[in-house]
Chains A and B, each alone.
Chain A
Amino acid sequence: MNCAPRLLRIQNFRALTVCLRAIVPAAAPFTSSHTHSPFLHGCSVQHSLRSFHGSGALQKNRAIAKDYEEKSEHEGGKSLVTHDDLFERVAQESRTKATFNRVLDVFVKQDIRRRGHVEFIYAALKKMLEFGVERDLAVYNKLLDVFPKEVFVPRNFIQRMYNHYPRQQECGVQLLEQMENYGVLPNVETKVLLVQIFGEKSHPMRKYQRLMYWFPRFKNMNPYPVPHELPQDPIDLARISLSRIAADLDAKVTVHQLPYTDITESGEEVSQPYIIGVQSPDQRSLLAKHNTSRPVFVEGPFPLWLRKTCVYYYVLRADPLPPEERTEEPIDPERCFFYPLELDVDLDRDLEDDDSFDVDEVVEGPVFAMCMAGQGDQVTLAKWISALQETNPVLGRTATLFRLESGPGELQSAAEPEPASETEAEPGPAEEAEPLRSQRMKQ
């Protein structure tokens, strides 16, 4: 009973809009401004009310089935282009959440029947990344709000049995999927909207339920979460990265050298790359015990990925001790005042209580310190080593060898030396001369 008058109204409304277009040409290109829409809105409502008593012939002519074809005919199949255009035009001003929202508002208010909303939503989904709102739940909800309410809710068992309004449902699922891909968790508002739009047991609703089942469970899976927004400052980024690699709460990050650029009297540009190192007390004591007759190595660059950013680090390490030098220090019997540290019993652990796995362990050499630098050349890294000498005097007596490779970053930066490149450029010795500092550590 309820649907008949509503259908009537829709028919009426459609007719009116057509009229309105003719009357008010300014309304068609709705890009012009925000202020138009209230007027537009008010207008259509007024008209729709009045046209309730309009002729029945109009309604008969335009059946719902034909609705869509009609529209595409009318708009010349350009709907998608139009919506893209809409965003493009706004984008000329600025690409922000506010402008994105304004486009949504304009679309919603311009046509109470939301004609072409599916195309519009698809277009909007694509544009979200550009506008930087791809992780914004409010925007997704607003976008979902574009769907007309209650129209696609199945009303009887036959509708429920078949795929009711598949295009619209597909679109809703797509929207949720994009949320999923960006790790945006829906909220109750999303649920209410979905229920209003598609009903309790629709596909988008199922999608929502699956999201809500898995997402919270996976949210804190990573024991070492990386922040969504990485700091832009390369020094802060290096701090984060180094404390991540060090995995020792005692490890101390030291800024050995701050970056600066200066122009000397002779007009020569002198720039100093930053050098940031990390060393834990354990590493320091390990280094202090290092046999000075053996060299230590500075190796790198090694890549570290933080989400979409790749940074490079260098390590100071030594070769593992040869087996003949690996001696365990005997426990001094006069060490503990209170109890024996060792039992004088000639029995080993029983096999059944030996829980250790039989693993072929590759012996690796000790790593004494790590660093990140604005420049990966030997000169810069030598500065790091000399800075380390202050706390590790043993380095002054030990030979330091630099085994620097040209990392993958360098290859890429050589191939595409534009500053916007996504990968880090960490030039090897070959590229030292080039002033590439600006592009390093950039996302």
Chain B
Amino acid sequence: MSLNGLFRFSKSVKFGRLLSPRISQSGNEVTPYLQSERFFRTHTRKLAYAKDLFLGKVNKNEVFPYPEVSREELDEINQFVSPVEKFFNEDVDSKRIDHEAKIPPETLNGLKELGLFGIQVPEEYGGLGLSNTMYARLGEIISLDGSIAVTLAAHQAIGLKGILIAGNEEQKAKYLPKLATGEYVAAFCLTEPGSGSDAASIQTRATLTEDGKHYLINGSKIWISNGGLADIFTVFARTEVVDKDGQKKDKISAFIVERAFGGVISGQPEDKLGIRGSNTCEVVFDNTKVPVENVIGEVGGGFKVAMNILNSGRFSMGSAGAGMIKKLIELTSEYAGTRKQFNKSLSEFGMVQEKFAVMAQNAFVMESMAYLTAGMMDRPGVPDCSLEAAMVKVFSSEGGWVCVSEALQVLGGLGYTKNFPYERYLRDCRILLIFEGTNEILRMYIALTGMQHAGKILTGKIKEMKKGNIGVALEMFGKKLRDSVGRKVDLGLTGKDGVVHPSLTDSAKKFEENVCVFSSTVESLLYRYGKTIVDEQLVLKKVADVLINLYAMTAVLSRASRSISIGLRNHDHEVLLANTFCSDAYFKNNYWMTQLQRNSPENNDESIKKIAKEVLSQRAYICSHPLERTY
């Protein structure tokens, strides 16, 4: 797959640039220099932080110092945030939404009045025109109700995103104003009964009418969030395209479909485990007549549109998860402080304390990752942060699930009842691991994108080694020898030109060491598997996990360094969290990377595969019952 092409495509998208002047860099002394340099080198700027980790390179200028917003912008955000927070605290009855499986119209109207239906739609089209950073900030509050968060996300993170990033001026002018005010609700129609991530199995077809002015769309789409509410659908369908060789070929195209076009039938809302208030249903298109002007991008270019929409919407999940956990910490700590057992409050028990530490640490890491990514996306230039965004999504969805479960555990039996919101949070946040690309699929994306990047650069070297070029082999050997003797890895994060605060030196060193080992692991994996690594999913999973941890370490190092440098309140707590997380992640990374070595005794992959194969061949749990006997 030509990823470069995709990046080029995303470069043509303008919305990032619109917001860029609002963002400035961190307030420490190097800022003016950095900023001017960045302005100068907008086009030569390295667009890859995470990808270059595969090569053992830490592009510290990308992530240090931690991105900041200007004073004015911060005030603006706070102005936005307080009414939204007030609204969610006072006017949103999450329990009722969950129980009735419907968001009441007055709540929806309140959201519309706050402008939350057009957070990222530019002001010229009547939206709030907020940056990614501000979107993430609002996401923290919106996430307090899962149903509302999903409804809004389906509307603007994917539903109208197609028009926003790939639509032409007429389309934007026609649809965005009404979508931004919430007069129209948008939905994103990609999934079909036979097609989740596989474009080849999309069955919905758009056929050109004889006059060539309309397309007739036929087919059914399932699990469409907002499918019952929406007036505007972004629909992906097969179209016949004549390619370069003059052959007719089926390709995916994206269409803007209004419900008013007719032939749009929404099914019964699905009865879901969580996010029950959001509307999810089947949408059937029966000879829906769509004018040719409503094709998003080019005819046959729908695949890229879909990929870009999916890749762009994920970063906010980190702040959403953090927002949820912060709220949960408040709720549960009150209980832990007041509930007494054996004349001690729960908060005095080590195992309860551990739960709060886990929650605080996860919230801290998620927040750091989310705002680092948002800040990178808001920068001038044409950043491609899809890899980072995917990592944020995976980390925060899994961390969120663990934390909600821990919070529920603090309350014990009470948490399990419907009298408390924990069970609802638990149900709601389960969807985070599933939608917008399941975590499994995103891990594949994370690992393979990096492997592709590393492969391009390392192929020549590895080929030389395989040919038995003694020079290269000796160089490799010497490097390994030096590493094993214990040469300190120095990637320049600490020391004279360091960007990390000295109180985080140990963590930074651990991070550097991990990066170094990671790059040699990647190299050996490429050496061993070559392009067949695509089929080694268990290997790729570990690669992705290590990379996620590395990115998380970067984020906390960067954030804590900034906090301590500018003297934010409780920065010592941040340093403590950062150091704890880094040492934890360091051991995990080392373990995973040991597993990735050849013939590693820690690696159980073969056995895991074999177990699964035996179970799946019988499609049952095949052990005899323990009470079974043979005589």
Q: Which residues of A contact B (CB under 8 A)?
A: 185-187, 212, 215-217, 219-220, 249, 332-350, 352-353
* Nearest-neighbor residue (CB-CB) of A212 within chain B: B631
Number of cross-chain contacts by CB at 8 Å: 112
Complex A-B, nearest 6 residue pairs according to Cβ-Cβ distance, in ascending order: A347-B530, A345-B455, A216-B630, A339-B445, A340-B1, A334-B303
* Nearest-neighbor residue (CB-CB) of B306 within chain A: A337
Q: Judge if B449 is at the interface, Cβ distance under 8 Å.
A: yes
Q: Is the CB of A341 within 8 A of B528?
A: no
Q: How far is the CA of A348 from the CA of B462 in the complex (A)?
A: 11
Indicate whether A341 sits within 8 Å of B1 (C-beta atoms), given known contacts A220-B630, A336-B197, A353-B528: yes
Q: Is the CB of A347 within 8 A of B459?
A: yes
Q: Is the CB of A339 within 8 A of B631?
A: no
Q: How far is the CA of A341 from the CA of B532 in the complex (A)?
A: 10
Q: Is the CB of B630 within 8 A of A343?
A: no
Chain B residues with Cβ under 8 A from A186's Cβ? 631
Q: Is the CB of B449 within 8 A of A339?
A: yes
Q: How far is the CA of A343 from the CA of B456 in the complex (A)?
A: 10
* Nearest-neighbor residue (CB-CB) of B532 within chain A: A349
Q: Is the CB of B630 within 8 A of A338?
A: no
Q: Is the CB of B449 within 8 A of A345?
A: no
A-B contact pairs, 6 of them (CB 8 A): A217-B630, A334-B303, A344-B455, A348-B532, A350-B527, A352-B528
Q: Judge if B448 is at the interface, Cβ distance under 8 Å.
A: yes
Chain A residues with Cβ under 8 A from B528's Cβ? 349-350, 352-353
Chain B residues with Cβ under 8 A from A347's Cβ? 455, 459, 462-463, 526-527, 530-531
CB distance from A345 to the nearest CB of B (A): 3
Q: Is the CB of B441 within 8 A of A345?
A: no
CB distance from A348 to the nearest CB of B (A): 5
Indicate whether A343 sits within 8 Å of B452 (C-beta atoms), given known contacts A187-B631, A337-B190: yes
CB distance from B301 to the nearest CB of A (A): 10
Interface size of B by CB at 8 A reads: 44
Name the one of B197, B466, B530 contacting A337, with C-beta atoms under 8 angstroms: B197
Chain B residues with Cβ under 8 A from A337's Cβ? 190, 197, 199, 303, 306-307, 310, 437
User: A338-B445, A350-B527 provided; 17 other pairs, C-beta below 8 A?
Assistant: A215-B630, A216-B631, A220-B630, A332-B199, A333-B1, A333-B2, A334-B199, A334-B303, A337-B307, A337-B437, A340-B448, A341-B1, A345-B530, A345-B531, A347-B462, A347-B530, A350-B466
Indicate whether A332 sits within 8 Å of B200 (C-beta atoms), given known contacts A339-B441, A345-B452, A345-B456: yes
Chain A residues with Cβ under 8 A from B197's Cβ? 336-338
Q: Is the CB of B531 within 8 A of A340?
A: no
Chain B residues with Cβ under 8 A from A249's Cβ? 619
Q: Judge if B3 is at the interface, Cβ distance under 8 Å.
A: yes
CB distance from A389 to the nearest CB of B (A): 25
* Nearest-neighbor residue (CB-CB) of B249 within chain A: A332
Chain A residues with Cβ under 8 A from B455's Cβ? 343-345, 347
Q: Is the CB of A349 within 8 A of B529?
A: yes
Chain B residues with Cβ under 8 A from A220's Cβ? 624, 630
Q: How far is the CA of A337 from the CA of B309 in the complex (A)?
A: 10
Q: Judge if B442 is at the interface, Cβ distance under 8 Å.
A: yes
Chain A residues with Cβ under 8 A from B466's Cβ? 350
Q: How far is the CA of A219 from the CA of B630 in the complex (A)?
A: 7
Q: Judge if B569 is at the interface, Cβ distance under 8 Å.
A: no
Q: Is the CB of A346 within 8 A of B451?
A: no
Q: How far is the CA of A186 from the CA of B466 in the complex (A)?
A: 63
Q: Is the CB of B198 within 8 A of A353?
A: no
Q: How far is the CA of A343 from the CA of B624 in the complex (A)?
A: 43
Q: Judge if B555 is at the interface, Cβ distance under 8 Å.
A: no
Chain A residues with Cβ under 8 A from B252's Cβ? 334
Q: Is the CB of B444 within 8 A of A338?
A: yes
Q: How far is the CA of A217 from the CA of B631 in the complex (A)?
A: 10
Chain B residues with Cβ under 8 A from A346's Cβ? 459, 463, 531
Q: Is the CB of A343 within 8 A of B448?
A: yes
Q: Judge if B534 is at the interface, Cβ distance under 8 Å.
A: yes
* Nearest-neighbor residue (CB-CB) of A346 within chain B: B459
Chain A residues with Cβ under 8 A from B306's Cβ? 337
In chain B, positions 242-270 with a C-beta closer than 8 Å to chain A are: 251-252
Q: Is the CB of B199 within 8 A of A339?
A: no
* Nearest-neighbor residue (CB-CB) of B533 within chain A: A343
What 1/0 mask marks residues of chain B from 466 to 499 whose CB sits below 8 Å from any chain A CB? Answer: 1000000000000000000000000000000000
* Nearest-neighbor residue (CB-CB) of A219 within chain B: B630
Q: Is the CB of A336 within 8 A of B198?
A: yes
Interface centre among A215, A249, A336, A339, by most chain B C-beta atoms within 10 angstroms, is: A339
Chain B residues with Cβ under 8 A from A341's Cβ? 1, 534
Chain B residues with Cβ under 8 A from A219's Cβ? 630
Q: Judge if B598 is at the interface, Cβ distance under 8 Å.
A: yes
Q: How far is the CA of A180 from the CA of B577 in the complex (A)?
A: 69
Q: Is the CB of A343 within 8 A of B451?
A: yes
CB distance from A86 to the nearest CB of B (A): 33
Chain B residues with Cβ under 8 A from A332's Cβ? 199-200
Q: Is the CB of B310 within 8 A of A344?
A: no
Chain B residues with Cβ under 8 A from A340's Cβ? 1, 3, 448-449, 452, 534
Interface centre among A219, A341, A350, by most chain B C-beta atoms within 10 angstroms, is: A350
CB distance from B191 to the nearest CB of A (A): 10
Indicate whether A338 sits within 8 Å of B437 (C-beta atoms), given known contacts A332-B200, A350-B529, A353-B528: yes
Q: How far is the CA of A342 from the CA of B527 in the complex (A)?
A: 17
Q: Is the CB of A350 within 8 A of B530?
A: yes
Q: How far is the CA of A200 from the CA of B238 in the complex (A)?
A: 81
Q: How far is the CA of A215 from the CA of B630 in the complex (A)?
A: 8
Q: Is the CB of B198 within 8 A of A335?
A: yes
Interface centre among B3, B437, B534, by most chain A C-beta atoms within 10 angstroms, is: B534
Chain A residues with Cβ under 8 A from B442's Cβ? 338-339
CB distance from A220 to the nearest CB of B (A): 7
CB distance from A174 to the nearest CB of B (A): 21
* Nearest-neighbor residue (CB-CB) of A355 within chain B: B606
Indicate whether A339 sits within 8 Å of B448 (C-beta atoms), given known contacts A216-B631, A347-B462: yes
Chain B residues with Cβ under 8 A from A334's Cβ? 1, 199, 251-252, 303-304
Chain A residues with Cβ under 8 A from B448's Cβ? 339-340, 343
In chain B, positions 427-474 with a C-beta closer than 8 Å to chain A are: 437, 441-442, 444-445, 448-449, 451-452, 455-456, 459, 462-463, 466
Q: How far is the CA of A332 from the CA of B199 in the complex (A)?
A: 9
